[in-house]
Amino acid sequence: LKLLQAIWWKPRMIEKKLKRQGIHVLPYKLLVGNIKEMNKLASEARSKPMELSHDIATLLNPMLQKLAMTYKKPIAIWHGTVPCVVIMNPKLIKDIMTRKFEFQKPEVSPTMKFFLKGLSNIDGDKWAMHRKIINPAFHMEKLKGMLPSFMVCCEEMVEKWDKLLSSANSCELDVLPEFQNLTGDIISRAAFGSNLEEGRLIFSLQREQGKLLEQSIFNFNSLWSRLLPSKLKELKEKMMQNHQQVRALLQGLIETREKAILSGNEYQNDLLNLLLKSNFNEAQESPNLGMSREDVIEECKLFYFAGHETTANLLTWTMIVLSMHLNWQEKARQEVLDLVGKNKPTFDELNRMKIARMILFEVLRLYPPTSVVRSIPKETQLGEYSLPAGVNLTIPLYLVQRDPELWGENAMEFNPERFSDGFTKPFFSFGWGPRICIGQNFAMLEAKLALAMILQHFSFELSPTYRHAPYVALTLQPQFGAQIVLSKI
């Protein structure tokens, strides 16, 4: 009876409640919901070659795109037995993202829950305390102190690319793995600058952990693996080994740093140090406040997951888009050369790079690395809708930020001028409200620096081997890589 209730009766009841409020609900299909047909339509769309355009929603999720264009109100689709209400209205989106205690992070698989416990996956008072402690580490003046670390990593990448061009005028390069290495290295240095070797080891283990987690989600969702759990068990054992190794390394680092802070022996201002100092200050106010050592370990691990792939994708799409729009590549290069010539850009000079900033925001509008999802543990009012408990809310940023009603008839076009006066339209690529991305200034600074240094040294265009195929694999990536032809300037 319980099973029947979960897979048939409850979905039926929710469907009725949603329909009564004028929400268009796709018919519920026992157990699988609409996932199967959604995936089928997406793989059909992907099997055809796509022209070089920014109209990518038809490729990412053709079913959702059609529904969103047909029904201007919220619609609901089924992820298995879970109803997902798709929200496109910016007023409702801001409301959801502002009411942080009512609209919470959704339940993830038990494996994800065990291995990812940091800021982005916690709620309530614990989240508020962690956010307060971590915030100071990402303040602008702290980021300014991290710029030399960012610079070293970018210089290493530019030197490597220079060497590739030492015997030829141009060369082809898939920039996606290049930027994954760059942002991984930057976050290692920024987080554990004074213990770089351990930092790199921690993050290479985290990288492997990320891949295993991705596989575990796939396996967890597949019915066969749940019936034959040996594959899942193997994955979990490997993940557990990595988890313990990372924990031991971080514990050692934290103990040494804590001793140094207490004895007044300052380390340089990397993220770990800033976090520990802020935690000490919090604990001094009251012994009940402050994060435990376990919490600090989890937050350090999260920096890597949250900050590495997202920024690598931003840089990758920027290279692709600037190869499609050579006039903007030239404008951005001119700005960099006018401001700094071939010198290393300073923090203030980077802040003055307006065209680079406009380009990065326009790329983030069209190619947001993630979408946002929330759950509601109890019946909740949202605008005119009363949403029943158990419903998830999905905000597909790649659709919202292409909506012609919000962004104008030319919403599909790449036009960085939209951001010449800052944010005049609803822009959610870094989230919104109290849970807005804590690392957004960090990401923008590293992306701007990397872009400026690339523009100083190279011109680039798309390789004939590049196939435009945006694809969601946890984050939005080019499915077959980002092959670019680089030439030296």
Residue pair 175/315 in contact (Cβ under 8 Å)? The answer is: yes
Helix axes 293-307, 196-221, angle to 10 degrees: 80
Quick check: 483 binds ligand HEM (CB under 6 A)?
no
Q: Which stretch binds ligand HEM (CB under 6 A): 29-37, 236-244, 306-314, 410-418?
A: 306-314
**How far is 326 from 462, CA to CA, in rounded Å?**
10
Q: Which is nearer to ligand HEM, 89 or 429 (CB)?
A: 429
65 token code pair? 């795109």
Question: What's the closest the beta carbon of residue 412 comes to ligand HEM, in angstroms?
Answer: 20
Q: Which is nearer to ligand HEM, 438 or 485 (CB)?
A: 438
Q: What are phi and psi of 136, to 5 degrees?
A: -60, -30
**How far is 319 from 428, CA to CA, in rounded Å?**
22
Residue number with the smallest Cβ distance to ligand HEM: 439
Q: Which stretch binds ligand HEM (CB under 6 A): 28-36, 146-154, 284-292, 425-433?
A: 425-433
Member of 290, 307, 416, 470 binding ligand HEM (CB under 6 A): 307
Q: Which stretch binds ligand HEM (CB under 6 A): 5-13, 45-53, 283-291, 435-443?
A: 435-443
Residue pair 136/165 in contact (Cβ under 8 Å)? The answer is: no
Question: What's the closest the beta carbon of residue 37 comes to ligand HEM, in angstroms?
Answer: 26
Quick check: 303 binds ligand HEM (CB under 6 A)?
yes
**How far is 189 from 157, CA to CA, in rounded Å?**
14
Quick check: 365 binds ligand HEM (CB under 6 A)?
no
Quick check: 150 binds ligand HEM (CB under 6 A)?
no
DSSP string, 279-313: HHHHHHH-TT-S--HHHHHHHHHHHHHHHSHHHHH
Question: What's the closest the beta carbon of residue 119 comes to ligand HEM, in angstroms?
Answer: 4
Quick check: 274 binds ligand HEM (CB under 6 A)?
no
**How far is 368 from 397, CA to CA, in rounded Å?**
7
Q: Which is nearer to ligand HEM, 146 or 411 (CB)?
A: 146
Q: Which stretch binds ligand HEM (CB under 6 A): 76-84, 216-224, 240-248, 423-431?
A: 423-431
Residue pair 64/86 in contact (Cβ under 8 Å)? The answer is: yes
Provide the 3-class DSSP secondary structure of residue 323: helix
Quick check: 179 binds ligand HEM (CB under 6 A)?
no
Q: What are phi and psi of 335, to 5 degrees?
A: -60, -45
Residue pair 280/290 in contact (Cβ under 8 Å)? The answer is: yes
Residue pair 379/389 in contact (Cβ under 8 Å)? The answer is: yes
**How far is 356 from 336, CA to CA, in rounded Å?**
8
Quick check: 131 binds ligand HEM (CB under 6 A)?
yes
Quick check: 395 binds ligand HEM (CB under 6 A)?
no
Quick check: 466 binds ligand HEM (CB under 6 A)?
no
Residue pair 471/357 in contact (Cβ under 8 Å)? The answer is: no
Member of 34, 61, 310, 316 binding ligand HEM (CB under 6 A): 310
Q: Which is nearer to ligand HEM, 15 or 298 (CB)?
A: 298
Interaction with ligand HEM in 367-386: which residues (CB under 6 A)? 369-370, 372
**How far is 103 from 126, CA to CA, in rounded Å?**
15
Looking at residue 137, its amino acid is A
Size of residue set near ligand HEM by CB under 6 A: 23
Interaction with ligand HEM in 311-350: which residues (CB under 6 A)? 311, 314
Q: Which stretch binds ligand HEM (CB under 6 A): 32-40, 366-374, 379-387, 406-414?
A: 366-374
Give Cα separations from 66 to 26, 61, 63, 80 (angstroms): 13, 9, 5, 20
Residues in the chain: 489
330 token code pair? 């030239």
438 token code pair? 């804590």
Nearest C-alpha neighbor of 484 from the set 177, 171, 168: 171
Q: Which stretch binds ligand HEM (CB under 6 A): 106-114, 171-179, 285-293, 438-446?
A: 438-446
Q: Which is nearer to ligand HEM, 51 or 141 (CB)?
A: 141
Member of 68, 76, 86, 119 binding ligand HEM (CB under 6 A): 119
Question: What's the closest the beta carbon of residue 429 comes to ligand HEM, in angstroms?
Answer: 5
**How far is 416 from 327, CA to CA, in rounded Å?**
12
Member of 65, 394, 429, 477 binding ligand HEM (CB under 6 A): 429
Q: Which residues bind ligand HEM (CB under 6 A)?
A: 119-120, 131, 187, 302-303, 306-307, 310-311, 314, 369-370, 372, 429-431, 435, 437-439, 442-443
